[in-house]
Amino acid sequence: MILNIHKPVGWTSFDVVKKIRGIVKEKKVGHGGTLDPFAEGVLIIGTGKDTKRLTMITAEDKSYVATIQLGEITNTLDTEGDIIETKPVPELTSEIIEKTIKTFLGKTFQIPPMFSAKKVKGQRLYKLARKNIEVKREPVEIQINEITLDKFSENKLTFSATCSKGTYVRVLGKDIAEKLGTVGYLLSLTRTRVGGFCVEDSQSLDEFQSSWISSVS
């Protein structure tokens, strides 16, 4: 079974896997691409023999809507961290921002953030980051297929992007802020699509649980 679940804010991707496992009473449950705890949106879940299909799903392009707070940056690049730097925000217009974010289109390189599940020499980066240990991370090639400015006001900008597997939108937000001459972190992040799975078709955990109970009773 492949499920399109709307991961709520505050849950880890594994929290969702654990919840689904408990509902369907199936030992083999996995997800098709981690979504940060502060983020919400499409999380693809596979159960039983369909977990094999997750590798292919994980490789698909993904779409996001993100809001950047300009002028401040946290150590996690999102709302879960501590503010470590502030910087004035230059005078910006929607036209300047639109022109700037378009420079990220195409192939580019990203350095994975320390607060991430990526492994370096067998260790999860976030575990090292929590101990205030920073290690060298090699840049990873990513591709931004689409990026547009949705809204800009009061030092907050919201953008939509479609990108390749392995793209950290938190890092993209930081890089956009830097290119605009300031610093920034993500206030919110919603994954709106994974391959052919859209957020409009995703089920909340409560909705899935209710429909599952109805189907088996």
Residue 101 phi, psi (nearest 5): -70, -25
Active-site residue flag, 50 = no
Angle at 11 between CA 10 and CA 13, to 5 degrees: 140
Residue of 148, 120, 145 lying closest to 134 (CA atoms): 120
CB atoms within 10 A of CB 193: 19
CB atoms within 10 A of CB 6: 20
- The one catalytic residue in 15, 36, 50, 201 is 36
Instruction: Kindly give the interhelix angle for 205-216 and 13-24, rounded to the nearest 10 degrees.
Output: 10
Rounded Cα distance, 164 and 145, in Å: 8
The residues assigned a catalytic role are 36
